[in-house]
């Protein structure tokens, strides 16, 4: 399906450029209100992360929704999964998050949740795009939407997260560094772990509108690693700007990514006597995860990259656990969407129940050496898909595949959230991984440069 606005995770881009312009976001709010509410009066929740552009986009969305006759509840900064939870539990017609997740502050985006707290289906997103092509006509003045603040949203979400950790256990005696990436979790994640008994060392909790994800959070785990070693902590938890990703660090400073987090949760559930029918990963999931799950007789399936595609396979199979190496972890028995805080709590549950360290639990996965190179196409003349399909890149890809044969994997894909081509090579030999990934990335760069010239 050809889309004009929606990508794999809502609508995202550079603020001030299409589609993240005040005019387009105003129209988006109106179109979403028309499609999601129809002719009925209903309520839509709006939350956001800490980007300075959130004020602008919030106002534009608010005006568009009100013009469509929707009542609005403004929540302010709150993690993306918090909006999913509140939308479902308050019986709102829809939830909207203003966030560009792990991207820098110059970017922003819009994510939607249905009344059930799930990502919108493809046909609903396409209906919103079709509505955006129509003239904007406000309802009669008597039917315009009203706006109110939502009371104690953060407190409600904190209690929800704590409920995902068993009441009979606590985190007493654990020292945990929590990196909130100067993002939406800065008011929620430290209290969650602290109220469960942990000695919390919070970092990345001073947002100024511009420092979200800057040298911190799940995309820069070296920051939390350094803090863990400096403070002699038992582990570190690094969240991204909107709180739906998590990367962890053990007491030695070793990074525990989404693949290992999935393994720890699945193996813990199995030890507890729960049935684990299968785990969903993505094309980028390390083959070491697949092999570790196979040793436990737990089936594994790969989805396309993006948490919405992981969720699609989970729904198709009826399985409960899936995610990405980047830290999107979906525990459907706890939440309707990926939640970094809840995923971290499941790992802590496994630690408390087993008496093992994070390092011990993560050692069950032997990670194959893997290199991911992000080739930026900002300012380029070709879209990412066209660059990948170019003869230059396809020839280089064929050469890499011939070299690897059955001894590794290569994935070349367009990012669904930014103008980037991601080059991933995985094999047992680190030197081969580095050489082949650079070769393929250089071909992508040349193809993009040729298009500009």
Residues annotated catalytic, as ranges? 101
Asked if residue 340 lies in contact with residue 239, where contact means CB atoms within 8 angstroms, the answer is yes
Using alpha carbons only, what angle is made at residue 245 by residues 242 and 249, rounded to the nearest 5 degrees? Answer: 125
How many C-beta atoms surround the C-beta of residue 326 within 10 A? 21
Cα 90 to Cα 21, 37, 49, 84, distances in angstroms: 30, 16, 20, 10
Contact status, residue 21 vs residue 109, Cβ threshold 8 Å: no
Burial of 294: CB neighbours in 10 Å, binned 0-12, 13-18, 19+:
exposed
**Closest alpha carbon to 182 in 215, 159, 151:** 215
- Please classify residue 151 by burial: count the beta carbons closer than 10 Å to its beta carbon, then call 0-12 exposed, 13-18 middle and 19+ buried: exposed
Q: Report DSSP state, residue 334.
A: T
Cβ-based neighbour number of residue 403 at 10 Å: 16
Q: Residue 300 and residue 259: Cα distance in Å, rounded?
A: 12
CA 216-241-380 angle, 5° bins: 90
Rounded-to-10 torsion of CA 135, 136, 142, 144: 160
Confirm if 428 and 368 have CB atoms less than 8 A apart: yes
Reduced 3-state DSSP string for 353-408: HHCCCHHHHHCCCCCCCEEEEEEECCCCCCCHHHHHHCHHHHHHHHHHHHHHCCCE
Judge contact between 45 and 33, C-beta under 8 A: no
Among 247, 238, 285, 271, CA closest to 351: 271
Token output for 303: 């989805």
Q: Is the dihedral of CA 240, 243, 248, 253 positive or negative?
A: positive
């Amino acid at each position: 399906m050809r889309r004009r606005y929606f990508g794999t995770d809502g609508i995202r881009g550079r603020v001030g450029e299409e589609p993240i312009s005040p005019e387009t976001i105003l129209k988006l709010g109106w179109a979403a209100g028309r499609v999601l509410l129809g002719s009925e009066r209903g309520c839509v929740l709006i939350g956001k992360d800490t980007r300075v552009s959130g004020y602008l986009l919030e106002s534009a969305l608010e005006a568009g929704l009100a013009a469509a006759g929707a009542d609005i509840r403004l929540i302010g900064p709150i993690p993306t999964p918090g909006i999913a939870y509140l939308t479902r539990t308050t019986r709102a017609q829809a939830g909207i998050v203003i966030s560009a997740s792990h991207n820098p502050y110059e970017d922003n985006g819009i994510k939607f949740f249905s009344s059930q707290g799930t990502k919108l289906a493809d046909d609903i997103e396409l209906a919103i795009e079709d509505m955006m092509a129509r003239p904007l006509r406000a309802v009669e003045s008597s039917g315009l939407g009203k706006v109110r603040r939502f009371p104690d949203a953060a407190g409600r979400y904190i209690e929800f997260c704590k409920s995902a950790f068993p009441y009979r256990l606590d985190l007493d005696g654990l020292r945990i560094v929590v990196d909130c990436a100067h993002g939406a979790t800065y008011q929620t994640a430290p209290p969650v772990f602290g109220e469960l008994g942990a000695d919390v060392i919070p970092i990345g909790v001073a947002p100024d509108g511009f420092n979200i994800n800057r040298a911190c959070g799940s995309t820069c785990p070296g920051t939390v690693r350094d803090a863990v070693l400096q403070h002699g902590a038992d582990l570190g938890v690094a969240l991204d700007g909107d709180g739906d990703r998590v990367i962890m660090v053990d007491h030695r400073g070793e990074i525990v990514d989404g693949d290992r987090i999935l393994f720890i949760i699945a193996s813990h559930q199995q030890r507890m006597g729960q049935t684990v029918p299968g785990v969903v990963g993505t094309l980028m999931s390390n083959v070491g995860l697949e092999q570790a799950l196979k040793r436990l007789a737990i089936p594994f399936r790969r989805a396309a990259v993006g948490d919405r595609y992981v969720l699609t396979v989970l729904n198709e199979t009826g399985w409960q656990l899936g995610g990405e190496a980047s830290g999107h972890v979906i525990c459907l028995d706890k939440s309707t969407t990926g939640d970094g805080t809840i995923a971290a709590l499941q790992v802590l549950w496994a630690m408390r129940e087993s008496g093992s360290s994070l390092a011990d639990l993560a050692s069950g996965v032997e990670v194959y050496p893997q290199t991911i190179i992000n080739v930026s196409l900002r300012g380029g003349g070709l879209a990412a898909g066209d660059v990948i399909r170019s003869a230059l890149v396809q020839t280089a890809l064929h050469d890499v595949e011939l070299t690897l044969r059955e001894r590794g994997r290569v994935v070349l894909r367009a990012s669904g959230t930014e103008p980037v081509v991601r080059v991933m090579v995985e094999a047992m030999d680190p030197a081969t991984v580095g050489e082949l990934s650079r070769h393929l990335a250089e071909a992508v760069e040349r193809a993009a440069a040729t298009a500009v010239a």
